[in-house]
Amino acid sequence: MEIEKRTIGVNVSKGGVKAVVWAPNAKNVSLRICNGRIDLPMEQKDLGYWHLQTDQLKDGDLYRFVLDGEKFLPDPASLSQPEDVHGPSQVVDLKTFQWTDEGWDNPALESYLLYELHAGTFSPESNFAGIEAKLDYLKELGINAIEIMPVAQFPGGRNWGYDGVFPYAVQHSYGGPKGLQQLVNACHKKSIAVVLDVVYNHLGPEGNYFGEFGHYFTKKYNTPWGNAINFDDAWCDAVRQYYIENALMWFRDFHIDALRMDAVHAINDFSPKHILAEIKEHVDALMKQTGKKHYLIVECDLNDTRYINGLDKQGYGMDSQWVDEFHHALRVTAGGDRTGYYEDFNGLKDLAKAYCDAYVYDGQYSAHRHKNFGVPAKNNPGKQFVVFSQNHDQVGNRMLGERNSQLFSFEMQKLMAAAVLTAPFLPMLFMGEEWAEPNPFLYFVSHTDAELAEAVRKGRKAEFAAFHAQGEAPDPVDEQTFEGSKLQWDLLDKYPHAMMLAYYKTLINLRKTVPALKNLNRQHVQVEANEENKTLVLHRWYQGEHLVVLMNFSDQQQVIALPSTEKKWNKLIDSASPRWNGPKEAPDHLPGDSKVDLQPESAIIYAIS
């Protein structure tokens, strides 16, 4: 069977170029070749699609679609917008890139060690080439999967990526489609998988011409970003096909290894077959044809296992999901504030539950939501949950964008890192946390529409009006807000950042090499929590190996008894060691029935085998 090809937009083929656009309300549609101001009439076919086959358009040409002779618009399925969101689209032949990753095999999902990054602030160059220049660093750190925040074309050159308005077009300032192909190829050469963040729940406001073409939106539902994308209302078939083909394009034409789908709880779809399940079916078919593995990871705020249960269990078939509740419980346990959604979390006992059950709320009453919330996830394997101590949301949605390095002590940061990297789930780091990057990660945009830019500026200030005692919310439109959010690579060899980096490298290496940490069998996990002294003991087993992670979240030294055994306990790492700028080293070897002095805000891992 032939591999499913991209059918919409403008695609280069042997016979020239084939153009397809969905515009069911238009009376006539033509394609304008901008280079020569030539208009080529398109033929109307079934279900509102317009077609054109021509040899007058070639790779690199600029074009627009003309609706009813008066609306000159960029292509909704554009692959490139070199003149920004309001400019013409560009023909790109994705087949011309010379791939050298034929031998690449996407690792098993359970072995992923994720590193979330933003293409604009990760490197001084603010582009894909800048990421490529740091791949040796990431490899040495121990990362085997980078997760890139959305790259769909947005207005200007500064944006988190969630304001994208061309889901098929790769941000031009980052390097465009060829730049992304080059980055993925380079990652695979270094044995690093690439996860791409995509947004299927809304489109940004500026440069959003979708409503001019067809019924891409529905008024049936409201979202935080306006009208919902039309996945189940009249005319939804073409919209569903648009997003199915988008997911397939990233895997097929860009060799992306996994997609991280943003806020799928905001996708409204009451069709007999949910759009996520339909995407999964098509991805499964693609994998069967190509022999390549691809994963679908979702951000979901519903604690609903339907999203991650298999298609054969009437689920949507997603391979994994972010678990914010682990983050929330860890943060409160570490001494973070309990405002907003954090009010639902009581600290240590919730963290203990997260280790065992993934979801903290799996049916009980949530005071923040004012209702019973969630279902148990007892039968879902550890690889279906991604955990972290910080990410772009949890940092950037704070008024001042403070990272953990600004909110917690050096010792607590090391403890939180151990808490994540020893969890029976997929761990994820947020760029720069491994060296305690002090720069914030702020919210920034570069809208070219002055009214919209001012509205965003005012909205950000209003959102944090209650926090004005802490100062003004940084202006998201100001270029300095963006520049001040960049990583400081010159800190890597300076105190104490070099020490934190060395600690992270050691922890990551343990995660990847110690069988009891590598294995994600949730049946081989046990937790003992002592709320009085704020200590937690995490047990992990694998075959004959027994490993304990001793965690002290208090500001006082605590004494913990190791489990009784006839064998000796061997220390794997101690965050309180002077090697990591800690106050005191614990013994390297201890007999069974020993007690350990656990330093304030520290973690020790002991193992027997």
The whole-model pTM stands at: 0.97
Query: What is the arithmetic mean of pLDDT over 535-553?
Result: 97
How would you write 105-132 as a 3-class SS string? Answer: CCCCHHHCCEEEECCCCCCCCCCHHHHH
Q: Do domains 109-200+240-502 and 525-608 have the same CATH topology?
A: no
Residues 409 and 552: their CA atoms lie apart, in Å, by 14
262 belongs to the catalytic site? yes
Which residue, 119, 93, 92, is CA-closest to 174?
119
Detail the residues annotated as belonging to a binding site for substrate: 260-265, 324-328, 392-397
Which residue, 305, 299, 307, 320, is CA-closest to 269?
307
Lowest mean pLDDT across 112-121, 137-146, 222-231, 589-598: 222-231
User: 10 Å Cβ neighbour count for 228?
Assistant: 21
Helix segments in 205-323, DSSP class H: 210-213, 236-254, 275-290
DSSP class of residue 16 equals E
Which residue, 497, 479, 403, is CA-closest to 441?
403
- What percentage of residues in the chain have a pLDDT greater than 70? 99
pLDDT of residue 1: 43
Residue of 299, 304, 357, 411 with catalytic role: 299
- The side-by-side arrangement of strands in the sheet containing 9-13 is 9-13, 16-22, 49-54, 43-44
The pLDDT tens digits of the residues spanning 241-263 come to 999 999 999 999 999 999 999 99
Q: Which helix (H) or strand (E) holds 571?
A: strand 569-574
CATH architecture of 525-608: Sandwich (2.60)
The pLDDT tens digits of the residues spanning 323-382 come to 999 999 999 999 998 988 899 999 899 999 999 999 999 999 999 999 999 999 999 999
Residue 2 scores a pLDDT above 90: no
User: 10 Å Cβ neighbour count for 14?
Assistant: 4
Residue 508 scores a pLDDT above 80: yes
The pLDDT tens digits of the residues spanning 388-397 come to 999 999 999 8
Q: Provide the 3-class DSSP secondary structure of residue 411.
A: helix
Q: Provide the 3-class DSSP secondary structure of residue 60.
A: coil
The pLDDT tens digits of the residues spanning 301-322 come to 999 999 999 999 999 999 999 9
Residues 310 and 317: their CA atoms lie apart, in Å, by 4
Residues 265 and 282: their CA atoms lie apart, in Å, by 21
The pLDDT tens digits of the residues spanning 275-294 come to 999 999 999 999 999 999 99
pLDDT of residue 471: 73
Structure tokens at 261: 């789908």
The pLDDT tens digits of the residues spanning 450-505 come to 888 888 888 877 777 655 456 788 999 999 999 999 999 999 999 999 999 999 99
Q: Partners of 590 in the beta sheet?
A: 569
Which positions ≥6 away from 288 have C-beta within 8 Å? none
Band (pLDDT 50/70/90 cuts) for residue 584 is: very high
Torsion angle of C-alpha atoms 11, 17, 18, 24, degrees rounded to 10 = 90
How far is CA 22 from each of CA 49, 72, 158, 214, 569, rounded to the nearest angstrom? 4, 15, 30, 7, 66
Residue of 132, 262, 402, 411 with catalytic role: 262
Structure tokens at 10: 């403008």
User: Torsions phi, psi of 64, nearest 5?
Assistant: -140, 160
Band (pLDDT 50/70/90 cuts) for residue 27 is: very high
Which positions ≥6 away from 423 have C-beta within 8 Å? 326, 355, 387
CB 131 within 8 A of CB 115: no
CB 418 within 8 A of CB 537: no
Q: What fold, for 109-200+240-502?
A: TIM Barrel (3.20.20)
Which residue, 352, 263, 280, is CA-closest to 317?
280
Query: What is the arithmetic mean of pLDDT over 139-157?
Result: 98
| Residue positions counted in the chain | 609
Detail the residues annotated as belonging to a binding site: 260-265, 324-328, 392-397
How far is CA 149 from each of CA 19, 135, 337, 391, 565, rounded to the nearest angstrom? 29, 17, 27, 11, 47
Band (pLDDT 50/70/90 cuts) for residue 517 is: very high
User: Torsions phi, psi of 334, nearest 5?
Assistant: -75, -5
- What percentage of residues in the chain have a pLDDT greater than 90? 91
Which residue, 397, 334, 385, 335, is CA-closest to 357?
385
pLDDT of residue 227: 82
Strand 602-608 to 569-574 pairing: antiparallel
CATH architecture of 9-93: Sandwich (2.60)
pLDDT of residue 453: 87
**What ranges make up the beta strands (E) of 37-127?**
38-41, 43-44, 49-54, 62-67, 71-73, 89-90, 114-117
Radius of gyration of the chain (CA): 25
Residue spans of the domains in the chain: they are 9-93, 109-200+240-502, 525-608
Mean pLDDT value across the chain? 95
CB 551 within 8 A of CB 418: yes
Cα 69 off chain centre by: 41
pLDDT of residue 466: 58
pLDDT of residue 467: 54
Residue 4 scores a pLDDT above 90: no
